[in-house]
Structure 1
Amino acid sequence: MSIATETGSVGRAARRALVPGPSGGPPEKKIRSSLHDQLTPWLYVAIPIIWISVFSLIPFFNTIRLSFTDSTMLVPGKFIGLDNYKRMIHDPHFINAITNSSLYVVCVVPFMVLLPLMLAALVAEKTRIMGFLRTSFYVPVVMSSVVVGLIWTNLLDTKGLINNLFKALHWISKPVPFLVDRWLLLFSAMLVTIWTGLGYYMMIYLASIANIDPGLYEAAQIDGAGGIRQFIHVTLPGCRWTMVLISLLSSMSAFRVFGEIYMLTNGSGGLGGADITMTMLIKDEGTGISARTGYAGAIGMVMFVVLGVLVLVQWFLEARSDDE
Structure 2
Amino acid sequence: MGKKRALGYSRYSEVQTAWLFMAPGLILLVLFTFWPIIYSLPLAFTNYSVIGETSFIGLDNFKRAFSDVDFIASIKNSLLYMIIVPFIQIISILMAVLVNRKIAGIKFFRTAYYIPVVTSMVAVAIIWGWLMSSNGVLNYLLMSIGIIDEKVNWLSDKDTALWSLMFITLWKGLGYYMMIYLAGLQAIPQDCIEAAKIDGASNFQVIRKIIVPLLKPYIFLCTLVSLMGAIRVFDEVFVLTSGGPGNATLTSSVYIYQQGFEQFEFGYSSALGLIVSVIIIFFSIFIFLFNKRGGVNPY
TM-score normalised to structure 2 length: 0.87
Larger Rg: 1
The residue correspondences of 1:201-240 to structure 2 (distance < 5 A) are: 201-240=177-216
Aligned to 1:99: 76
Query: SS state of the match for residue 182, structure 1?
Result: coil
Q: Residue type of the partner of 1:117?
A: I
Q: Residue type of the partner of 1:277?
A: T
Identify the match of residue 307 of structure 1 among 280, 283, 294: 280
Question: What is the alpha-carbon distance in structure 2 between the residues aligned to residue 129 and residue 304 of structure 1?
Answer: 43
Confirm or deny: 8 A CA contact 1:245 1:314 kept in the other structure.
no
Confirm or deny: 8 A CA contact 1:112 1:197 kept in the other structure.
yes
Confirm or deny: 8 A CA contact 1:100 1:277 kept in the other structure.
yes
Query: SS state of the match for residue 299, structure 1?
Result: helix
Question: What is the alpha-carbon distance in structure 1 between the residues aligned to residue 25 and residue 105 of structure 2?
Answer: 41
What's the Cα RMSD here?
2.4
Q: Does 1:271 align with 2:248?
A: no
Q: Residue type of the partner of 1:80?
A: I
Q: Does 1:286 align with 2:260?
A: yes
Identify the match of residue 50 of structure 2 among 48, 73, 79: 73
Question: What is the alpha-carbon distance in structure 2 between the residues aligned to residue 67 and residue 51 of structure 1?
Answer: 24
Deviation string, structure 1 residues 136-190 (Cα, Å, up to 9, x no partner)? 1111111101111011111110010111223334443321131112231101111
Percent sequence identity over aligned pairs: 35
Cα offset, 1:264, TM superposition: 2.1
Aligned to 2:9: none
Cα offset, 1:318, TM superposition: 5.9
Inter-CA distance 124–42: structure 2 relative to 1 (3 Å threshold): closer
Q: Residue type of the partner of 1:322?
A: N
- The number of equivalent residue pairs is 284
The residue correspondences of 1:73-152 to structure 2 (distance < 5 A) are: 73-105=50-82, 107-152=83-128
Confirm or deny: 8 A CA contact 1:285 1:295 kept in the other structure.
yes
Cα offset, 1:76, TM superposition: 4.2
Aligned to 1:13: none
Cα offset, 1:87, TM superposition: 0.8
Cα offset, 1:42, TM superposition: 10
Cα offset, 1:86, TM superposition: 0.7
Stretch moving more, 163-172 or 193-202: 163-172
Structure 2 residue runs of 5 or longer lacking an equivalent are 3-12
Cα offset, 1:241, TM superposition: 2.1
TM-score normalised to structure 1 length: 0.81
Q: Residue type of the partner of 1:279?
A: S
Cα offset, 1:216, TM superposition: 0.9
